[in-house]
Amino acid sequence: MKNINVLPSICYGGDYNPEQWPEEVWYEDAQLMQKAGVNLVSVGIFSWAKIEPQAGIFDFEWLDKVINILYDHGVHVNLSTATASTPAWFVRIYPDSLPVDENGTRLSFGSRQHYCPNHPHLIKHIKKLVRAIAEHYKDHPALKMWHVNNEYACHVSRCYCENCAQAFRKWLKKRYHTIDELNERWGTNFWGQRYNDWDEINPPRKTPTFVNPSQELDYYRFMNDSIFNLFLAEKEILRELTPDIPISTNFMASFKPLNYFQWAEEVDIVTWDSYPDPREGLPVNHAMMNDLMRSLRQGQPFLLMEQVTSHVNWRDINVPKPPGVMRLWSYATIGRGADGIMFFQWRQSRAGAEKFHGAMVSHSGDEHSRVYREVKELGHELSQLDGLVGARIKAEVAILFDWENWWAVELASKPHNKLSYIAIVEHYYRELYKRNIAVDFARPGDDLSKYKVVIAPLLYMIKEREDENLHRFVKNGGTLLMSFFSGIVDENDKVHLGGYPALLRDILGLCVEEFVPIAEGQSNLLQVGGETFECTTWADMIRLEGAQALAVYGEDWYAGHPAVTVHHFGQGKSVYIGTHPESRFVGQLLEKVLAEHHITPPLEVPAKVEVQRRYTENEEYLIIVNHNGHDVQLTLPKDRNYQNVLSGERLHGVKLTVKGIDVVVLKEDKN
């Protein structure tokens, strides 16, 4: 996928809500933005009620003024379509546009995102509004990007109202054609759930006990599609009126209800919002989400659309980022493929639920505050990184990730009902992260030929042809690492027959006869030659069918049974991990596999130092982020010439010191 450069520089700015302030503050804002090197702001995100104060009456005067002031100060606009919250007048006309929860309770107006995606009048009003905004601003030189809606589904990811019930039936009819097919796919002979007529089917509202899991899974799909259709409707209008302006909507990365791989096919550039808790220190999950977001469009650089300068308002205790950390984490994001660092929000709100959320400018508007100073310094630094815009990352390792699998594996009534898909994926990711090994995420059906190693944690669902894809990958010389409880069900959550994991038994050279979950707080041992490791959570009872045991269980009634196996298949091999081993085991296993494929980090560095390499056609950049509080010394390869981009210094020696909580960006001239 080709690069989308919103600006020729790293985008820098944030959400801007000028309607919360009197006009004189707009001038002050624009000046402060200019001083801070801000070049892009997201405007109008919650402005539907202000832009269309009454149905069909539009007021652009205030927004014209705002955008002109911004433009005069060199600030471009990521213009929102303002559809994130329906106005009070809309709710008064259509009270049934308010969403209904699984218990039948209708939610109220008074916060935000209070709409049912399937309300028949919603889409009509959205289209009118979006057309009016796009017509009005299509030729404005400040317009650089469209910000559609905002964090779709962040509060209301599901509605169970009558409009949704009707739309669900239509969606099912399109998917299954006949009621017999639906009965078959959903396995409705279980508990006498057979349907004779589409009208008998409802959303999975509150039921006496476990709802049909296939119905629940399809409701995930249906709600994702319902909300996606709202996006597509807006996109169509924007594309028609402004064919050259990139269109995006901000994702939330590990947000379960929306299948972002599907969404990413329809945005021009991925943008996402990230709020790691400073109390947790090293943001491994943030790194993982950066890699996931970059992978959604096959490595195309993305924008970090929202992060906070200091602290949020929505945790129990909202600890600020200490000095330097906002900058540090911004570079960590750039290292993983971001071409933009943006914030929520520009100026701290005076009123409303987010008035104690941090911002680039505080309530006081003080230019000398720590936060604004850091904002300004970062803005100036980033303006020196134009050369990095569009640079890509090359990864030889991929982790398989699939939203539908996530939905299915966390449905109720499993052998173990506390499995977290994200946590198990992260367990494997962390070992690559710690070793600075570049990693992409991919869907199980994607082309895997550019990878040497593919990791499949908890890939419970294997859909049609995905098994063939994995066969091909291993046959052609790849190494597949697969965890327990993989390859168990089809796309409807029906068990694949033929012994677990039926479709993958030949690649893995084994059969899983029985699942033995391990109770919380308990563990078993993994024995590998003379070494012992801990394992928790799960123990597969494996029957070898060609694979060899790499590790056996050490305790309990299954002591001595194979726990981790390896099997050669075609030119490649597969490693099956029938339990949840401690990190040390995963790390050692990965090190062996990486060494076999000659996969190395860009530099050897001490712990808690991130190094990522980004490539343009003629240059290579190393982004080095020291998360330690102390200085570290690095050794650069002797045969290369680097330039420190931020200081301009040429590095002839091979030793480099990176200060504690500091960053170095090196450019290597390939010529």
Which CB, 354 or 619, lies closer to ligand GLA?
Answer: 354
Which CB, 86 or 612, lies closer to ligand GLA?
Answer: 86
Nearest to 608 by CA among 351, 434, 477, 465: 434
- Binding of ligand GLA by 151 (CB under 6 A): yes
Please give the size of the binding site for ligand GLA, defined by CB under 6 A. 9
Q: Is 240 marked active-site? A: no
Q: Round to whole Å and give the CA distance between 299 and 547.
A: 35
Helix (H) or strand (E) holding 339, with range, is strand 338-343
Smallest gap from Cβ 252 to ligand GLA, in A, equals 7
496-555 residues in contact with ligand GLA (CB under 6 A) are: none
First-residue to last-residue Cα distance in the chain: 27
Q: Round to whole Å and give the CA distance between 420 and 417.
A: 9
Which CB, 139 or 316, lies closer to ligand GLA?
Answer: 316
Q: Are 346 and 42 in contact (CB under 8 A)?
A: no
What is the token pair recorded at 227?
Answer: 């909300």
Which residues partner with 16 through β-bridges? 43
Smallest gap from Cβ 518 to ligand GLA, in A, equals 21
Smallest gap from Cβ 459 to ligand GLA, in A, equals 27
Which CB, 413 or 618, lies closer to ligand GLA?
Answer: 413
Q: Are 524 and 542 in contact (CB under 8 A)?
A: no
- Binding of ligand GLA by 357 (CB under 6 A): yes
- Binding of ligand GLA by 426 (CB under 6 A): no
Question: SS3 string of 230-274?
Answer: HHHHHHHHHHHHCCCCCEECEECCCCCCCCHHHHHCCCCCCEEEC
- Binding of ligand GLA by 463 (CB under 6 A): no
- Binding of ligand GLA by 153 (CB under 6 A): no
Smallest gap from Cβ 355 to ligand GLA, in A, equals 12
Residue from 156, 238, 312, 455 touching ligand GLA (CB under 6 A): that is 312
Burial of 547 per CB tally in 10 Å (0-12, 13-18, 19+): buried
- Binding of ligand GLA by 306 (CB under 6 A): yes
DSSP result, 165-178:
HHHHHHHHHHHHSS
Smallest gap from Cβ 251 to ligand GLA, in A, equals 10
Smallest gap from Cβ 357 to ligand GLA, in A, equals 5
Q: Round to whole Å and give the CA distance between 656 and 634.
A: 5
Smallest gap from Cβ 154 to ligand GLA, in A, equals 7
Phi-psi region of 104 (alpha: psi -120 to 50; beta: other; left: phi over 0): left
Helix (H) or strand (E) holding 48, with range, is helix 48-51
Smallest gap from Cβ 482 to ligand GLA, in A, equals 30
Smallest gap from Cβ 155 to ligand GLA, in A, equals 10
Angle between helix 325-335 and 370-382 (nearest 10): 30
Residue from 329, 344, 441, 473 touching ligand GLA (CB under 6 A): that is 344
Which CB, 344 or 433, lies closer to ligand GLA?
Answer: 344
Which CB, 152 or 428, lies closer to ligand GLA?
Answer: 152
Residue type, position 514, single letter: E
Which CB, 87 or 487, lies closer to ligand GLA?
Answer: 87
Which CB, 52 or 306, lies closer to ligand GLA?
Answer: 306
- Binding of ligand GLA by 150 (CB under 6 A): yes
Residue whose pair of structure tokens reads 């076999």 in the numeric block: 596
- Binding of ligand GLA by 276 (CB under 6 A): no
Cis ω on the peptide bond leading into residue 257 (within 30° of 0)? no
Q: Which of 151, 216, 374, 381 is catalytic?
A: 151
Long-range contacts of 235-242 (CB under 8 A, 24+ apart): 235/148, 235/266, 237/127, 237/130, 237/131, 237/134, 238/81, 238/130, 238/134, 238/146, 238/148, 241/131, 241/134, 241/135, 241/138, 242/134, 242/138, 242/143, 242/146
Query: What's phi and psi for 212, nearest 5 deg?
Result: -55, 120
- Binding of ligand GLA by 360 (CB under 6 A): no
- Binding of ligand GLA by 258 (CB under 6 A): no
Smallest gap from Cβ 6 to ligand GLA, in A, equals 18
Tally of residues, the chain? 671
- Binding of ligand GLA by 273 (CB under 6 A): yes
Nearest to 162 by CA among 201, 193, 209, 129: 201
Q: Which of 52, 216, 234, 306 is catalytic?
A: 306
What is the token pair recorded at 634?
Answer: 């690095």
Q: Is 513 marked active-site? A: no
Which CB, 349 or 536, lies closer to ligand GLA?
Answer: 349
Residue type, position 343, single letter: F
Cα–Cα distances in angstroms (integers) from residue 534 to residues 151, 467, 483, 557, 559, in the given order? 40, 31, 16, 16, 13
Which CB, 76 or 147, lies closer to ligand GLA?
Answer: 147
Report the catalytic residues. Answer: 151, 306
Residues within the interface to ligand GLA (CB under 6 A): 150-151, 273, 275, 306, 312, 344, 354, 357
